[in-house]
Amino acid sequence: MNARVAITGLGVLSALGLDVPSHLAGLRKGTVGIGETQDIDVSAMKTRISAQVRGFVPEAHFEPRQLGLIDRTSQMALVAARQAMADAGAAREGVSAHRVGSIFAASVGYHAVDDSYRKLYLEKAPRPHPFTVPRAMPSGPVSHITMDLGIHGPSFSIASACSSASHAVGTAFHMIRAGMLDVALAGGAESQITYGMLKSWEALRVLAPDACRPFSKDRGGLVVGEGAGAVVLENMDHALARGATIHGEMIGFGMSADGRDITAPDLDSAAASMRFTLDDAGIAPEAVDYVSAHGTATALNDKTETGALRQVFGDHLPKLPVSSSKSQYGHTMSASGALDLVTTVLALREGFLPPTMGYREFDPDCDLDCVPNAARDAAPQIALSSSFAFGGLNAVLAVKRYAS
């Protein structure tokens, strides 16, 4: 028999704030954490905006000797992980050390790479920083998390571009449900806001010039963001036995691969991943009260995602709120599935629907109730959180409001 899985810890760093309470407040107020990029010369760029985590001071969280070892992405991952574990309280008490694991999104240390290239090519330095390789390695975030928090069970990184964090959380969920783990710390982090990566995204011609406007007819593209999200998942029986505060229940996880194109999404495959999630959760489409959309605000992605939702939900879709919080905190790439999941759990727990900010014009190709421009009081019980990545690697999570 499959074990039930509780969500007992949350952690977040986003363009809305440096912890869960500030992130939640920003969601409810409709705060948009997108603005002109700071600390980088963007004068030569067509797109000068991004969703940065303002006010994050690494020195407040790490000793000087640690800072040379940890890229900004890993710093954010570790801070969010610490928050989630502190929130979960005594989750590890009475649990074998090897039955506590950590699965996180893989993410390159882009700041370490950018810094090393600048030193070598521009400054003609004889060598880069001696710890460039460990700072840049994609498994850096989860490695630092296990070392900092003393996690000894199965721990690894998952790379699937913008679905990485959702795949990480879903894998952790299935491992607990199957009895392989009792407790898991899962999520993702990413900071791509460097000169090299911003210029690379600009070259793809998918960046918005002024704002992120998911599902609006005048949408102009995505906005690059940075941040981290982390959740503690726990065997429900263990959580109840220790009297844990339960933020929600993870009930389903589905995946698919388009197998077609490196950038263009596939409607049928996206729909399949949602169906697999519903099947895994054992629920009908009509049971879903809210969808946290991938919602990147690119012309093709939003249209394709809407088509997939139509295919899965049919006559239920007009009654189903579907919003994109990337309009508030940007597209955080490998971290986005974790940030969107934390947002979804908060929506269920607190009784509201996060808004799609920047919405200005109805698009018949995106005929959704996208909760435009203001959060809405509601009482959703079951929600999906969707991630559809470059390369056609899709992951969808299902969450249920917990009522004791």
3-state secondary structure the chain: CCCCEEEEEEEEEECCECCHHHHHHHHHHCCCCCEECCCCCCCCCCCCEEECCCCCCHHHCCCHHHHCCCCHHHHHHHHHHHHHHHHHCCCCCCCCHHHEEEEEECCCCHHHHHHHHHHHHHCCCCCCCCCHHHHHCCCHHHHHHHHHHCCCCCEEEECCHHHHHHHHHHHHHHHHHCCCCCEEEEEEEEECCCHHHHHHHHHHCCECCCCCCCCCCCCCCECEEEEEEEEEEEEHHHHHHCCCCCCEEEEEEEEEECCCCCCCCCHHHHHHHHHHHHHHHCCCHHHCCEEECCCCCCHHHHHHHHHHHHHHHHHHHHHCEEECCHHHHCECHHHHHHHHHHHHHHHHHHCEECCECCCCCCCHHHCCECCECCCEECCCCEEEEEEEECCCEEEEEEEECCCC
Which stretch of 121-135, 213-227, 364-378 has the lowest confidence by average pLDDT? 121-135
Question: Which is the catalytic residue, given 162, 212, 366, 370?
Answer: 162
* Residue 163 exposure: Cα atoms within 13 Å on the Cβ side: 25
pLDDT of residue 243: 97
Residue 404 has pLDDT above 80, yes or no: no
Q: Is 267 exposed, middle or buried (0-12, 13-18, 19+ CB in 10 A)?
A: middle
Question: Which is the catalytic residue, given 111, 144, 238, 331?
Answer: 331
Give mean pLDDT, residues 36-54.
95
Residue 240 has pLDDT above 90, yes or no: yes
Residue 339 has pLDDT above 90, yes or no: yes
129 is catalytic: no
Q: How confident is the model at residue 402 (pLDDT cuts 50, 70, 90)?
A: very high
Give the CATH fold of the 5-241 domain.
Answer: Peroxisomal Thiolase; Chain A, domain 1 (3.40.47)
Give mean pLDDT, residues 357-364.
97
At 255-313, the pLDDT tens digits run: 999 999 999 999 999 999 999 999 999 999 999 999 999 999 999 999 999 999 999 99
- The one-letter code for the residue type at 188 is G
Q: How confident is the model at residue 135 (pLDDT cuts 50, 70, 90)?
A: very high
Tell me where in the chain the CATH 3.40.47.10 domain(s) lie: 5-241, 253-400
294 is catalytic: yes
Q: How confident is the model at residue 403 (pLDDT cuts 50, 70, 90)?
A: confident
At 344-354, the pLDDT tens digits run: 999 999 999 99
As a CATH number, domain 253-400 is: 3.40.47.10
Q: Cα separation of 47 and 204, whole Å? A: 12
Give mean pLDDT, residues 155-172.
98
Question: Which is the catalytic residue, given 23, 144, 294, 370?
Answer: 294
Residue 1 has pLDDT above 90, yes or no: no
366 is catalytic: no
Give mean pLDDT, residues 171-195.
97
At 57-114, the pLDDT tens digits run: 999 999 998 888 999 999 999 999 999 999 999 999 999 999 999 999 999 999 999 9
